[in-house]
Structure 1
């Protein structure tokens, strides 16, 4: 699920064991009943101005959950130590201002009640919906963490991972192979820098300069973008041809050997994962249902201790 580059999900196991806490869909029913509406409005308004916001918010949530659980530690600023957001794997994260705006709006409604971790989980859902994807009822009641270490982001998996490495990282987070394939579909949104797929188009191994599993036309296009005098600063490409729309194009691309990352194309390496790729490529409805269910499972990995007054600073 990854990202190293400015793209959704490069996910991995943290240094701490995740906790599955009891969350509730009506957690704020009595204490802050209009919180969800306020967050949704902020996300919708931001997306209308910038259609890259959904990819950014979804990626923020993934990167948060796969370090210390969904505790909003990715939002903390560096202070006594370098925080997650300033780790090499997270330098391309953005859209923090959307979460800041949502927190400000919610604090005006009910001070000290709604955690930044819940705001981030809700914003990720609203971002998917804003991009045309499925809605799901987000369980709430997460607490915010007090610790954020850039060193821990080194454990985020590389987009060069093979299937067994991906399965191991998801398993260590309590997530299944089914979750892996469904959540990988988040790569239907976003943009990636050349550094995340350079391994596939140059010096692939001792036998091949280019990854033989990549479609020749895609390889040629990526080489043109990412090498020689044509390479621009921050060069890269969209994750799929409809990268601002949440759809099932990602899986169709994989079946054509046009998955961008090694970790994307690796989903064809086993009959089970290949079957799921085929299923989601042929049915957007099946993908939406699986993605929503896997997002609920992933976002239920918790680990915080407080409700921050400011999402960037521990209390």
Structure 2
């Protein structure tokens, strides 16, 4: 006798297949704009090449902007939304007050709107701009999966609970911020390598120089020869001076960051303590021995950036495609 599948099982199977198909259809993909805006990445690269030739120091901030966007509400360009007096947005949050480069995103968006109105999301622009900023500073190139949609909500207070602070140690940042986002210890040590480009305000690490334990002392982990150099640049309570995170190489994406961390010259507590963590120490030491532009770090960085770029994305019919990145439609 032929076996008849109960209708309830068929219904459940259909629902599962529908959900699987929906998830697959809404996933990010390389070449998402191939038909709708085939020159999208070419337009972005052209603008970024022109911008970086004039202001190469923007590479670090633009990379950081994508990171800060993804860690709060996912990679939905909520970092770009303007707030109001009564409703401050993410860009108004304390960890984001030092961010620069919003004008770059607006410039790129204007070019894309002229070529393909209402097609390319601000969230995808952030991801591609970050990749191009790295590539144009002699770093790796990786394919960026696209198809993100833009969020409509941005809340300043969420930056304090979602962005890993520079004064936390590596273990704290891993357990409290990276693992909850689906990232692991390798992602932490690899993405921290992004500090090879860019600068930092003294206020982000001055406690290591002048008041590490609250008794007017310095962090004993800091190299004794590096400490006076930092003090000469950063006076107590200095909130305006900028210091190169990777001295002498802050405009070039390479492995010199890892050499500094291995020598106890990492600028932030979050950097310095990577050499103490059993899950990240070996990677630091291996890259510190590598020359110039090693294939392992470059490959790993692209992979971790793609992984980070998948955090909490909006796809399909979720969110919107903003006409202007600083405002909801």
TM-score (norm 1): 0.90
Question: How many angstroms does 1:112 deviate by?
Answer: 0.7
Question: How many angstroms does 1:233 deviate by?
Answer: 6.2
Bigger Rg, structure 1 or 2 = 2
Partner of 2:226: 218
CA contact 1:32–1:110 (8 Å) conserved in 2: yes
CA contact 1:279–1:286 (8 Å) conserved in 2: no
Write the deviation string for residues 129-178 of structure 1: whole angstroms up to 9, x where unpaired: 01110000000000000001111111222211112211111001100100
For the residues of structure 2 that align with 1:54 and 1:223, how far apart are their CA atoms?
A: 26
For the residues of structure 1 that align with 2:239 and 2:72, how far apart are their CA atoms?
A: 29
Question: How many angstroms does 1:303 deviate by?
Answer: 3.6
Q: Determine if the alignment matches structure 1 residue 49 to structure 2 residue 49.
A: no
2:174 is paired with a residue of what secondary structure?
Answer: helix
Once the two structures are superposed, the pairs formed by residues 144-293 of structure 1 within 5 Å of their partners are 144-155=150-161, 156-168=163-175, 169-205=177-213, 209-227=217-235, 234-241=240-247, 242-283=249-290, 284-293=294-303
Write the deviation string for residues 38-89 of structure 1: whole angstroms up to 9, x where unpaired: 0111111110001111111101101100001000000011136111111111
Question: How many angstroms does 1:206 deviate by?
Answer: 6.0
TM-score (norm 2): 0.86
Q: Determine if the alignment matches structure 1 residue 138 to structure 2 residue 144.
A: yes
> Which structure is higher in RCO with an 8 Å CA cutoff and minimum separation 6?
1
2:76 is paired with a residue of what secondary structure?
Answer: coil
For the residues of structure 2 that align with 1:127 and 1:147, how far apart are their CA atoms?
A: 26
Question: How many angstroms does 1:208 deviate by?
Answer: 7.5
**Superposed structure 1 runs of 4+ greater than 6 Å apart:** none
Q: Structure 1 pair 60/281, CA: closer, same or farther in 2 (3 Å)?
A: same
Question: How many angstroms does 1:260 deviate by?
Answer: 0.5
